[in-house]
Chains A and B, each alone.
Chain A
Amino acid sequence: MSDRQGASLQYVDIAKSYGRVQALRSTTLDIAPGEFFAIIGPSGSGKTTLLGVTAGYIPPSGGRILINGADVVGMPPFRREIGMVFQNYALFPHMSVAENVGFPLRMRKLPKSDIEARVRKILAMVQLDAMAERRPSQLSGGQQQRVALARAAVYDPLLLLMDEPLSALDKNLREAMQDEIKQFQASFGATVLYVTHDQNEAAAMAHRIAIMNHGRIEQIGTPKDLYEHPTNRFVASFLGEANLFDVANIEARGGEVRIQTSDGLSLIAASSATDGKVCACVRPEAIELTSTAVDAANGFAAQVVDATYTAGSLRYRIRLDSGRIITQRMPSARGAELIAPGEAVHISWRAEDTLLVQDVEGPS
């Protein structure tokens, strides 16, 4: 770990509208020093706008941005001392790797010998010392990505912004780079704001995640929090898989909540409902699949529709008697046989695994 402390980052009622289109609705958010914070959401959700407002090339319509307590709104990008990695790296094509990485230091008018030493050091850190004299176009995608990272970090910014930095890489390289960036951040000690549309990437890397939709933050939490306790339908369906049930009637009796779904199923949940219109969410992993009926709060007779095997887990699609299709997932135990399509099974889950979430899609 580094002894350097990243910057704190606070947004206070920050907003951006283009004419009548609200790209970013009034948002308040606190990011702790040294935190790896990810923002995920579909395209057009406002995450890129939030990043641009933070870097300083999009002027906000209102609100404040505090970096280490100082308001930076109105400050030009080149005074903010923020490092940023762009989606397509934006490496200057007319400069060599070393010149690209040295660029921020030259702009700061550091002595030549200093620049050389720091460029050499950080290129060694990202294992590109041998490539210093090459042009960006002569590097692979992963190498270009590392140059962009080195260039954004060479002047020791306390805050690093990353805009979908891995989206141009293929899957295997992407996963390797995830680990590399995480390790880099830990040894470098900066606060990271990481924007992606890939929920798995965010979950793998971030301490906390904010999910954005329609220009505002729907929910903030740790990856585990968001997955296990989504507050609304959008979050529940955006993050991982969810079996969602529209609720027709809901009734709290004693310690449990009885739910009548609109397609005629009776479910039992543990916690009482949130206010307003709700729907029920059951995660595929929470569902038990057995050959005979077991004693559980929620249990249904069902039939296997199909089974898929993907790296380490089994995913079944199951049809209830009502015709409703449910997704179930479990780790594949060694030697376990796949259940054939058409076979009769029972599914069940605990009352606490019926999650009640707000049934809103957010204003559009």
Chain B
Amino acid sequence: MADGGARIGRIVLIGFTALVLLYLVMPTFVILPMSFSNKTYLSFPPPGWSLKWYQSLAERPDYPLAFLNSVKIGVPVALLATTLGTLAALGVVRGRFFGARPLSALVIAPLMLPQIILAIGLYPIMARIGLIGSYPAVVIGHTVICIPLVFITVAASLKSYQPTYELAAMTLGANWWQTFWHVTFPMIRIGVIVGAILSFTFSFDELIISLFLTSPGTRTLPRLLWEDLRQYVTPIVAAATTLVLCISFFLLSLIALIQRRKDAS
């Protein structure tokens, strides 16, 4: 029976999808209750409930500092990566020059490389030029990985329409800058904004490069979490992780919202 077969296939598909989703969100559901534990060790499910870990999170001086550091690094990373990634996408998609394809592969490469390799490569360079442990060092490191994120989203926006709009603008008297500002940018705005948010989210969550390139003074939130986790496994780590998750979740919802608005218009 073809009908019965199709129904069984459907049930299998739904079951499979549900399992995948479950595995994706399960870690989140484990972390969340653990952060409200009343004991001094990480346990699941927690034996009792309290908010004391959130309180000690606020009381410890290193957590707010690390949070601030993550923002101080994430914002310039997003700005730099968005500018450079957009320019790269414009050049590769709109420019007609020899080697555009290999070049776009090269731009995306940092995203494909294991971050540890990038970190090992950046470490001696930063040490030599005396930047190691400073904000610029980790900003540069993160920007290298975030440029491809912006490149991909902006290149997709650019490919979604014909370059006739830009040609039209130029015949109508707009110079290069005016053409970009009045025609190209409004058309790729969504891709640029999504790329910027992705870049910030990436930088905010990133651990490996931060481990290599930050110092105690520029330590990011993920690095502090990692160090804490190695010394004492208290639910304060779960509380901090929950906060990071909330911020990431908020930013990703923002992207979904922006994209839905774009589809609607």
Q: Which A residues are within 8 Å of any B CB, using their own CB?
A: 55-57, 76-78, 80-84, 86-88, 90, 92-94, 103-104, 106-108, 151-152, 155, 161
Residue of B with least CB distance to A18: B96
B residues within 8 A CB of A90? 162, 164-165, 167-168
Task: Report how far A57 CA is from B163 CA in the complex, Å.
Answer: 11
Question: Quick one: given A94-B186, A103-B182, A107-B178, are A78 and B173 in contact (CB under 8 Å)?
Answer: yes
Asked if B164 contacts A78 (CB within 8 A), the reply is no
Q: What is the minimal beta-carbon distance from B189 to any residue of chain A, in angstroms?
A: 9
New contact pairs (16) apart from A57-B171, A104-B173, CB-CB < 8 Å: A56-B171, A78-B171, A78-B175, A82-B171, A83-B172, A84-B171, A86-B167, A88-B162, A90-B168, A92-B183, A93-B187, A107-B178, A107-B182, A108-B173, A155-B172, A155-B173
Question: Quick one: given A94-B186, A94-B187, A107-B178, are A88 and B164 in contact (CB under 8 Å)?
Answer: yes
B residues within 8 A CB of A83? 171-172
Q: Which B residues are within 8 Å of any A CB, using their own CB?
A: 162, 164-165, 167-175, 178-179, 182-183, 186-187
Asked if A84 contacts B168 (CB within 8 A), the reply is yes
Task: Report how far A145 CA is from B74 CA in the complex, Å.
Answer: 47
Residue of A with least CB distance to B171: A84
Asked if A152 contacts B172 (CB within 8 A), the reply is yes
A residues within 8 A CB of B183? 92
Q: What is the minimal beta-carbon distance from B117 to any residue of chain A, in angstroms?
A: 39
Asked if A103 contacts B171 (CB within 8 A), the reply is no
Q: What is the minimal beta-carbon distance from A347 to any residue of chain B, in angstroms?
A: 49
A residues within 8 A CB of B186? 92, 94
Asked if B171 contacts A107 (CB within 8 A), the reply is no
Residue of A with least CB distance to B96: A18
Residue of A with least CB distance to B189: A94
A residues within 8 A CB of B170? 56-57, 76-78
B residues within 8 A CB of A93? 187
A residues within 8 A CB of B164? 86-88, 90
Task: Report how far A93 CA is from B153 CA in the complex, Å.
Answer: 20
Q: List 13 A-B contacts (CB under 8 A).
A: A57-B170, A77-B170, A81-B173, A83-B171, A86-B164, A90-B164, A103-B169, A103-B172, A103-B182, A104-B174, A107-B173, A152-B171, A161-B171
Residue of A with least CB distance to B170: A77
Question: Number of residue pairs across A and B with beta carbons under 8 Å?
Answer: 70
Question: Quick one: given A103-B182, A107-B178, are A55 and B173 in contact (CB under 8 Å)?
Answer: no
Asked if A77 contacts B178 (CB within 8 A), the reply is no
Interface centre among B170, B179, B182, B187 (most CB of A within 10 A): B170
Nearest 5 pairs of A and B residues by beta carbon: A90-B168, A77-B170, A104-B172, A84-B171, A107-B173
Question: Quick one: given A103-B182, A107-B178, are A55 and B172 in contact (CB under 8 Å)?
Answer: no
Task: Report how far A77 CA is from B172 CA in the complex, Å.
Answer: 8
Interface centre among A77, A155, A161 (most CB of B within 10 A): A77
Residue of A with least CB distance to B172: A104
Q: What is the minimal beta-carbon distance from A266 to any residue of chain B, in angstroms?
A: 54
Question: Quick one: given A92-B183, A94-B186, A94-B187, are A107 and B168 in contact (CB under 8 Å)?
Answer: no
Q: What is the minimal beta-carbon distance from A110 to any residue of chain B, in angstroms?
A: 11
Q: What is the minimal beta-carbon distance from B265 to any residue of chain A, in angstroms?
A: 9
Asked if A76 contacts B165 (CB within 8 A), the reply is no
Q: What is the minimal beta-carbon distance from A247 to any residue of chain B, in angstroms?
A: 46
Q: What is the minimal beta-carbon distance from A41 to any residue of chain B, in angstroms?
A: 21
Asked if B165 contacts A92 (CB within 8 A), the reply is yes
Residue of B with least CB distance to A87: B164
Point out the residue from B165, B174, B187 that lies within 8 Å of A107, measured CB to CB.
Answer: B174
Asked if B167 contacts A57 (CB within 8 A), the reply is yes
Residue of B with least CB distance to A88: B164
Q: What is the minimal beta-carbon distance from A104 to any residue of chain B, in angstroms?
A: 4
Q: What is the minimal beta-carbon distance from A165 to any residue of chain B, in angstroms?
A: 12
Task: Report how far A80 CA is from B178 CA in the complex, Å.
Answer: 16
Task: Report how far A88 CA is from B161 CA in the complex, Å.
Answer: 12
Point out the residue from A55, A87, A92 that lies within 8 Å of B171, measured CB to CB.
Answer: A55
Q: What is the minimal beta-carbon distance from B264 to any residue of chain A, in angstroms?
A: 13
Q: What is the minimal beta-carbon distance from B124 to any residue of chain A, in angstroms?
A: 44
Task: Report how far A86 CA is from B182 CA in the complex, Å.
Answer: 18
A residues within 8 A CB of B165? 90, 92
Q: What is the minimal beta-carbon distance from B166 to any residue of chain A, in angstroms?
A: 9
Asked if B167 contacts A77 (CB within 8 A), the reply is yes
Interface centre among B165, B173, B178, B182 (most CB of A within 10 A): B173
A residues within 8 A CB of B174? 78, 103-104, 107
Asked if A55 contacts B167 (CB within 8 A), the reply is yes
Q: What is the minimal beta-carbon distance from B169 to any residue of chain A, in angstroms?
A: 7
Residue of B with least CB distance to A84: B171
B residues within 8 A CB of A88? 162, 164
Task: Report how far A104 CA is from B182 CA in the complex, Å.
Answer: 11
Q: What is the minimal beta-carbon distance from A65 to any residue of chain B, in angstroms?
A: 14
Residue of A with least CB distance to B175: A78
Q: What is the minimal beta-carbon distance from B259 to any residue of chain A, in angstroms?
A: 17
Q: What is the minimal beta-carbon distance from B174 to any residue of chain A, in angstroms?
A: 5
Task: Report how far A56 CA is from B182 CA in the complex, Å.
Answer: 20
Task: Report how far A55 CA is from B179 CA in the complex, Å.
Answer: 16
Task: Report how far A81 CA is from B169 CA in the complex, Å.
Answer: 12
Residue of A with least CB distance to B165: A90
Task: Report how far A244 CA is from B162 CA in the complex, Å.
Answer: 42
Q: What is the minimal beta-carbon distance from B260 to any residue of chain A, in angstroms?
A: 18
Q: What is the minimal beta-carbon distance from A58 to any residue of chain B, in angstroms?
A: 10
